[in-house]
């Protein structure tokens, strides 16, 4: 079915490991910290981890990396699960690093017993000073030579709550002159008197990332632990701890994180956008979160296709948002029903059409016959787009103008006979006549026109609010600009059309249903819709207007 593709470097590693009989099957994990909603970057990691396991008949665990008690929240846990399911993946087990706190504590005790960890009373400043620099070796802390017994006692006292935050830490005893700074006796446990979203007040010592991640991988028999490039220097410590603890040998592999233009992707920055009211929540359609894209009308398939297309790189780069939009348009073009909606209405009266008459016209739902047809009402008074009329037509103008003819989509050819303006010079009404023999389904008029415009029958029109979303930032890489990234927010990222008119078939639209509003773009019904007020979001324009601008 799919074209033959060469293997990415992770697939090569997995195939070699399986061929060598290193594992009977592979186990991967997706390890989010529940301190925010997932963003499009995470979808890369999700597609990769779940994709590998799926391809090679293995399994993927969902592990919440909840070792930091302060920033985590159950709201985030739920949103993460929703997003992964929506993307189309199922995890083998739902696990929490905090469930391993007892085990991790035991591992720390094991290291102490082996003379490979010690309690240090130095302040964080002293620890930093003694650490040295990449070109100078560090110096041993005076506490480094404590006896095993003393360390066991002190660590147990730390756990019992005898000390305040920061008074003592537990450090691995490796080498203060190591060329890798992370190997210079890294801190593996710290004191933090804080409530944890799952373990409550049971613990006041918490493992550091490096002492939790690899050990959790090992506890779960993870064969391939895939993370982003910034963890390359951590790999040595990852391997050291597993070796010294003599536990299941998980291995870490690194790939380049996904960076995308016109957005920011760190949860810390996204949280600022939410907390400071630049957007309306984590699922605001302008957010690069999975829930934001979903609410905006993106399909899970288009995100998966995008992740597949960008591949797995070993070098950092920026992917153009246009590529994601391209994948989206390709998918929506296949599945979205075509309907008519007028976003900037002006009234059109067909003067020679019978008063009070309504015809039901057939219209196809899409280019593909399998999408079927529907009927739409047509009568004397219609809404059309203001921009489809020009009083003084430009060159090559094939739409309405005084004396000009166009076809009304799925209906008749009309000719513009007159127009009415208000005192400010705005067009308020167009008067046209129709050619009865030109009905789309049976055109015997012999007249050919170059332009076709969409319309909505006034008497049966549905009113809707339409939220026109655009990119949240006006520069390609807001995080790398000088100054605050929020200074680069696009002031036109949301423009609300209070009253647009839609054809009546949209009365049955459900939340997240996606449509093509003919000639206007792709739209989906927003969850803010009520029985009395429809709200549509613009998902994406029909064409890529941004890259055109960039190429000017």
Q: Which residues of the chain form contacts with ligand ATP (CB under 6 A)?
A: 31-33, 41-42, 44-45, 65, 227-228, 257-258, 265-267
150 binds Mg ion (CB under 5 A): no
Structure tokens at 489: 């927010």
Helix (H) or strand (E) holding 205: strand 205-207
Q: Is 63 within 8 Å of 96 (Cβ atoms)?
A: yes
Task: Give, as ranges, the residues between 347 and 406 that touch Mg ion (CB under 5 A).
Answer: none
- Catalytic residue, chosen from 159, 184, 267, 286, is 267
Dihedral of the CA atoms 201, 207, 212, 215 (nearest 10)? -100
- Catalytic residue, chosen from 33, 301, 364, 476, is 33
Measured from the CB atom, the residue of 44 and 234 that comes closer to ligand ATP is: 44
Q: Is 33 a known active-site residue?
A: yes
In the list ligand ATP, Mg ion, none, the entry touching 271 (Cβ below 5 to 8 angstroms by class) is: none
Task: Say if strands 117-120 and 27-30 run parallel, antiparallel, or are unpaired.
Answer: unpaired
How many residues touch Mg ion (CB under 5 A)?
A: 1
In the list ligand ATP, Mg ion, none, the entry touching 228 (Cβ below 5 to 8 angstroms by class) is: ligand ATP
Helix (H) or strand (E) holding 427: strand 427-434
**SS3 of residue 305 by DSSP:** helix
Interface map 518-547 toward Mg ion (x if CB under 5 A): ------------------------------
CA distance 46 to 307: 9
- Catalytic residue, chosen from 244, 257, 409, 519, is 257
In the complex, minimum distance from the CB of residue 266 to Mg ion, in angstroms, rounded to a whole number: 9
In the list ligand ATP, Mg ion, none, the entry touching 494 (Cβ below 5 to 8 angstroms by class) is: none
| b/e sequence 427-437, b meaning 16+ C-beta within 10 Å | eeebebbbbee
- SS3 string, 371-425, reads HCEEEEEECCEEEEEHHHECCCCCCCCCCECCCCEEEECCCCEEEEEEEEECCCC
Structure tokens at 73: 């929240």
Measured from the CB atom, the residue of 17 and 33 that comes closer to Mg ion is: 33
CA distance 336 to 254: 38
The candidate with the shortest Cα–Cα distance to 222, out of 11, 12, 14, is: 14
Measured from the CB atom, the residue of 45 and 516 that comes closer to ligand ATP is: 45
**SS3 of residue 372 by DSSP:** coil
In the complex, minimum distance from the CB of residue 38 to Mg ion, in angstroms, rounded to a whole number: 12
The candidate with the shortest Cα–Cα distance to 29, out of 60, 57, 56, is: 60
Give the Å distances, CA to CA, from 287 to 279, 293, 534: 8, 7, 22
Q: Which residue has the tokens 């009309």?
A: 414
- To the nearest 10 degrees (0 to 180), the angle between helices 235-245 and 101-113 is 80
In the list Mg ion, ligand ATP, none, the entry touching 317 (Cβ below 5 to 8 angstroms by class) is: none
- Region near Mg ion per CB under 5 A, out of 27-35, 82-90, 286-294, 520-528: 27-35
In the complex, minimum distance from the CB of residue 292 to ligand ATP, in angstroms, rounded to a whole number: 14
Measured from the CB atom, the residue of 120 and 217 that comes closer to ligand ATP is: 217
CA distance 396 to 483: 46
Task: Give, as ranges, the residues between 249 and 308 that touch Mg ion (CB under 5 A).
Answer: none
In the list Mg ion, ligand ATP, none, the entry touching 108 (Cβ below 5 to 8 angstroms by class) is: none
Q: Which residue is nearest to ligand ATP (CB)?
A: 41
Identify the residue among 11, 33, 443, 476 touching Mg ion (CB under 5 A): 33
Q: Is 331 within 8 Å of 299 (Cβ atoms)?
A: yes
Measured from the CB atom, the residue of 33 and 82 that comes closer to Mg ion is: 33
In the complex, minimum distance from the CB of residue 457 to ligand ATP, in angstroms, rounded to a whole number: 47
Measured from the CB atom, the residue of 67 and 438 that comes closer to ligand ATP is: 67
Q: Is 202 a known active-site residue?
A: no
Q: Is 267 a known active-site residue?
A: yes
123 Cα distance to chain centroid: 40
Measured from the CB atom, the residue of 33 and 429 that comes closer to Mg ion is: 33
Measured from the CB atom, the residue of 97 and 518 that comes closer to Mg ion is: 97
In the complex, minimum distance from the CB of residue 33 to Mg ion, in angstroms, rounded to a whole number: 5
In the complex, minimum distance from the CB of residue 240 to Mg ion, in angstroms, rounded to a whole number: 21
Name the burial class of residue 34, with classes exposed (0-12), middle (13-18) and buried (19+) by CB atoms within 10 angstroms of its CB: buried
In the complex, minimum distance from the CB of residue 267 to Mg ion, in angstroms, rounded to a whole number: 8
CA distance 331 to 293: 14
In the list ligand ATP, Mg ion, none, the entry touching 182 (Cβ below 5 to 8 angstroms by class) is: none
Residue 136 DSSP class: B
Name the burial class of residue 76, with classes exposed (0-12), middle (13-18) and buried (19+) by CB atoms within 10 angstroms of its CB: buried
In the list ligand ATP, Mg ion, none, the entry touching 196 (Cβ below 5 to 8 angstroms by class) is: none
In the complex, minimum distance from the CB of residue 258 to ligand ATP, in angstroms, rounded to a whole number: 4
Nearest-5° Cα angle at 170, 71 to 109: 105
Q: Which residue is nearest to Mg ion (CB)?
A: 33
In the complex, minimum distance from the CB of residue 80 to ligand ATP, in angstroms, rounded to a whole number: 8
CA distance 22 to 160: 42
Measured from the CB atom, the residue of 234 and 399 that comes closer to ligand ATP is: 234
CA distance 454 to 339: 9
In the list ligand ATP, Mg ion, none, the entry touching 42 (Cβ below 5 to 8 angstroms by class) is: ligand ATP
In the list ligand ATP, Mg ion, none, the entry touching 258 (Cβ below 5 to 8 angstroms by class) is: ligand ATP
Active site residues: 33, 257, 267
| Interaction site with Mg ion (CB under 5 A) | 33
């Amino acid at each position: 079915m799919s074209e033959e593709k060469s293997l990415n470097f992770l697939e090569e590693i997995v195939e070699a490991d399986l061929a060598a009989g290193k594992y009977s099957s592979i186990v991967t994990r997706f390890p989010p910290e529940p301190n925010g909603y997932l963003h499009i970057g995470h979808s890369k990691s999700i597609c990769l981890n779940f994709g590998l396991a799926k391809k090679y008949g293995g399994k993927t665990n969902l592990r919440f990396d909840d070792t930091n008690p302060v920033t985590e929240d159950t709201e985030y846990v739920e949103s993460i699960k929703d997003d992964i399911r929506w993307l189309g993946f199922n995890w083998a087990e739902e696990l929490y690093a905090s469930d391993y706190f007892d085990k991790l504590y035991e591992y720390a005790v094991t290291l102490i017993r082996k003379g490979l960890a010690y309690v240090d009373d130095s302040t964080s400043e002293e620890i930093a000073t003694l650490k040295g620099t990449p070109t100078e070796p560090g110096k041993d802390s005076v506490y480094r030579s404590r006896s095993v017994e003393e360390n066991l006692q002190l660590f147990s006292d730390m756990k019992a709550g005898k000390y305040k935050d920061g008074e003592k830490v537990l450090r691995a005893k490796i080498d203060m002159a190591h060329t890798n700074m992370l190997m210079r006796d890294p801190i593996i446990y710290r004191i933090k008197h804080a409530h944890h979203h799952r373990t409550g007040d049971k613990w006041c010592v918490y493992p550091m990332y490096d002492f939790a991640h690899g050990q959790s991988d090992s506890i779960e028999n993870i064969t391939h632990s895939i993370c982003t490039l910034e963890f390359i220097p951590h790999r040595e410590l990852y391997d050291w701890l597993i070796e010294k603890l003599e536990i299941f040998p998980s291995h870490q592999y690194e790939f380049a994180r996904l960076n995308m233009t016109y957005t920011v992707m760190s949860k810390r920055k996204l949280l600022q956008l939410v907390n400071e009211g630049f957007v309306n929540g984590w699922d605001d359609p302008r957010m690069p979160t999975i829930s934001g894209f979903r609410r905006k009308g993106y399909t899970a398939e288009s995100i998966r296709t995008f992740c597949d297309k960008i591949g797995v790189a070993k070098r950092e780069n920026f992917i153009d948002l246009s590529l994601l939009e391209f994948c989206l348009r390709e998918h929506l073009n296949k599945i979205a029903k075509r309907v008519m909606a007028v976003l900037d209405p002006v009234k059109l009266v067909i003067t020679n059409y019978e008063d009070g008459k309504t015809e039901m016209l057939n219209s196809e739902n899409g280019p593909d016959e399998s999408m079927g047809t529907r009927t739409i009402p047509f009568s004397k008074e219609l809404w059309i787009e203001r921009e489809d009329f020009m009083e003084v037509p430009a060159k090559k103008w094939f739409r309405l103008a005084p004396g000009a003819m166009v076809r009304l989509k799925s209906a008749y050819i009309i000719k513009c006979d007159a127009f009415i303006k208000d005192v400010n010079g705005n067009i308020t009404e167009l008067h046209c006549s129709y050619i009865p023999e030109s009905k789309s389904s049976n055109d015997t008029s012999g007249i050919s026109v170059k332009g076709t415009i969409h319309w909505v029958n006034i008497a049966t029109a549905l009113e809707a609010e339409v939220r026109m979303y655009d990119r949240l930032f006006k520069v390609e890489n807001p995080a790398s600009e000088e100054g605050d990234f929020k200074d680069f927010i696009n002031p036109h990222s949301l423009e609300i059309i209070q009253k647009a008119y839609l054809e009546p078939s949209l009365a049955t639209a459900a939340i997240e249903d996606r449509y093509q509003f003919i000639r206007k773009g792709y739209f989906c019904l927003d969850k803010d819709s009520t029985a009395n007020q429809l709200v549509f979001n613009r998902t994406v324009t029909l064409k890529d207007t941004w890259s055109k601008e960039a190429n000017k």
